[in-house]
Homo-oligomer: A and B are copies of this chain.
Amino acid sequence: MAKKNGAIVGYGGMGGWHASFLKNSDVVNLVGIYDIKPSRLEAAEADGIHAYNSLEELLADPQIDFITIATPNDFHKPIALQAFAAGKHVISEKPVTLSSADLQEMIDAANAAGCKFTVHQNRRWDGEFLVMRDVYKSGDLGPVHHIESRVHGSRGIPGDWRQDPKQGGGMILDWGIHLIDQMMGIVNDRKLKRIWCTCDHITNELVDDGFKLEMYFEGDLTAHIEVGTSNFIGLTRFYMTGRDGSAVIPDWGNPCKVVWCHNYNEKEVVPVVTAAGITKTMAPRTDTSISSKEIPQPAADVHDYYRNWVRAIDGEETQIVTHHQMMVDMKIMEAAFLSDRTHMPVEVDLQF
């Protein structure tokens, strides 16, 4: 496979990540970068990476096949439109933009220019997601009725443009997009019909510094997505429960523990006795009715993202993160903001 020549627009945190990453890529040559800050251009040169003097100069370079946009979120759209006009394919960092209308404009422009256009949903290669998706598809839990996906930190939110709503700050657009994209990738066998969302404003008034999103799918499957940045004790990363069993990943990097029931009506109930009462209903099960196992997180190579991208440019593969999926994710985030603002549920009809 011939390598493609890529450039990065925006040489901040994620731009730097892409640059380091592409140095080890077997499918991409990193040709250069551009950033509006002179200090970042100097940093790139110091890192041995060519820095263009302007976005126009970069886009005019005929050797460049595609750009990866890693700027603040509100710049993704104008830069992408400019790139399509120059005939360049575009990967945008997530969130791709701030509204579904803007996204449609970007998709239309890409299609009109005959350019490929996708989003860097790198967390589709995270082991936590992959193992939970496998468990869901295995059917081992019986019909699944609830899934929870949660990330908890305690450092508030980054103090730069990520605190500015006009620039697309806040946790729905930052971490929410990953967890929403993962959830829709797990529950891709049915439609999402309704959402209910509440945002936190604990350390920040202007943007959400966390949120809780309830998702209601067809077939009585519910999901809970939560991001917190004021949680000094973190709760369960991933949880899934069905008629016949449950699965949990307590924290980053942990294997998935699966417990399933092989003798539902087992009568050996040892009641839970507390200070003030007993309960048989909530009595834990014993080994006479349940079994358990641990599933390690599967190996995954996030370089497959750029490998697919290069093949997609060549028309050899469908791009992994499709326009349809990008739009689904965006509409869910829009519905989440609307639900939070109005304190009302929002009806949707969305499926990967």
The interface of chain A, by Cβ under 8 A from chain B, is 17, 122-128, 130, 145-146, 148, 151-155, 157-158, 174-175, 194, 196, 198, 200-203, 212, 214, 216, 220, 222, 228-236, 239, 241-248, 252-253, 257, 259-261, 269, 272, 274-285, 290, 297, 300, 302, 343-345
How far apart sit A117 and B236, CA to CA, in the bound complex (Å)? 42
How far apart sit A274 and B151, CA to CA, in the bound complex (Å)? 13
Is B233 a contact of A281 with CB atoms below 8 Å? no
How many identical chains are in the complex?
Answer: 2
* With known contacts A194-B343, A275-B300, A282–B153 Cβ distance under 8 A: yes
How far apart sit A277 and B232, CA to CA, in the bound complex (Å)? 22
Partner of A198, one of B124, B158, B216: B216
Is B276 a contact of A302 with CB atoms below 8 Å? yes
Q: Which interface residue of A234, A246, A257, A259 has the most chain B CB atoms within 10 A?
A: A246
Partner of A283, one of B155, B247, B282: B155
Which 9 pairs of residues, A with B, have the shortest CB-CB distance?
Answer: A125-B276, A153-B282, A233-B246, A232-B246, A276-B302, A232-B259, A126-B276, A122-B276, A127-B275
Partner of A152, one of B148, B201, B282: B282
Partner of A155, one of B123, B154, B194, B269: B269
